[in-house]
Chain A
Amino acid sequence: ELKVEQNPLFLSMQEGKNYTIYCNYSTTSDRLYWYRQDPGKSLESLFVLLSNGAVKQEGRLMASLDTKARLSTLHITAAVHDLSATYFCAVEGGNQFYFGTGTSLTVIP
């Protein structure tokens, strides 16, 4: 079974700081997805990474994929309070997605 690990599980950071969330997975896959979940809400798609070396950016978030290392990163630049949420990565395997454990991000003013 494909396993997906995220770290850290919990992240508290000050506004204006930079940080990176890591997503490691256990088997070959060229497709990785990042989602955001606000408390009590559903999942919102952030990024779709479909090949080795793919990099996507949206505002203060940038995601990248290294399929050889089986690693994706979600980099946060100059964090703001609105980014507080739980972030999930998901790896595609067959007809299924395998989700990471999630990273709960809190941005402190």
Chain B
Amino acid sequence: SQTIHQWPATLVQPVGSPLSLECTVEGTSNPNLYWYRQAAGRGLQLLFYSVGIGQISSEVPQNLSASRPQDRQFILSSKKLLLSDSGFYLCAWSEGSSYNEQFFGPGTRLTVL
């Protein structure tokens, strides 16, 4: 069966510090991968998605970036965090085949102070 991992689970960072969040998927090959952000009490905002190694599509201009160095690894980064980067970051995967039900990881709660 497939599983998706995210770490860290929680993170408190000062403004201007760098960020690296990691997401890995097990039990599947060549998944589509997604990064979402959810502000407190709000809906989901798609940040990036990837259909393959090195292929990243950005949905929202921001100070965040994403990379996919391996088939089942997706990384979200920032060189300098802003207060507005606080939120709940969710990674998701889908098979990218006949239908694309997305399965979500446990999330990372980021607080920027």
Q: List residues of chain A with CB under 8 Å of any chain B CB.
A: 31, 33, 35, 40-45, 48, 50, 88, 90, 92, 95-97, 99-102
A50 to B97, CA, bound (A): 13
List, in ascending order, chain B residues with CB within 8 A of A41's CB: 106-107
Given A48-B99, A50-B99, are A96 and B46 also a contact pair (CB < 8 Å)? yes
Residue B74 lies at the interface, judged by CB distance under 8 Å to chain A: no
List, in ascending order, chain A residues with CB within 8 A of B107's CB: 41-42
A92 to B94, CA, bound (A): 12
Q: Assess whether B43 is in contact with A42, with CB atoms less than 8 Å apart.
A: no
Q: Assess whether A33 is in contact with B106, with CB atoms less than 8 Å apart.
A: no
List, in ascending order, chain B residues with CB within 8 A of A95's CB: 32, 49, 51, 57, 96, 100
| Size bracket, chain B contacts | 20 to 34
List, in ascending order, chain A residues with CB within 8 A of B34's CB: 97
A14 to B94, CA, bound (A): 36
Shortest distance in angstroms between A50's beta carbon and chain B's nearest beta carbon? 6
Shortest distance in angstroms between A61's beta carbon and chain B's nearest beta carbon? 17
- Among residues of B, the one whose C-beta sits closest to the C-beta of A43 is B104
Q: Assess whether A48 is in contact with B104, with CB atoms less than 8 Å apart.
A: no
Given A42-B106, A43-B104, A45-B101, are A97 and B46 also a contact pair (CB < 8 Å)? yes
Which 4 A-B residue pairs are closest in the complex by CB-CB distance? A43-B104, A99-B44, A42-B104, A42-B107
Given A48-B99, A95-B51, A97-B46, are A43 and B32 also a contact pair (CB < 8 Å)? no
Between A40, A45, A95, the greatest number of chain B beta carbons within 10 A of the residue's beta carbon is seen for A95
List, in ascending order, chain A residues with CB within 8 A of B105's CB: 42
Q: Assess whether A99 is in contact with B43, with CB atoms less than 8 Å apart.
A: yes
Indicate with 1 or 0, residue by residue over B28-58, a CB within 8 angstroms of chain A CB atoms: 0000101000000011101001010000010
A101 to B32, CA, bound (A): 23
A69 to B54, CA, bound (A): 39
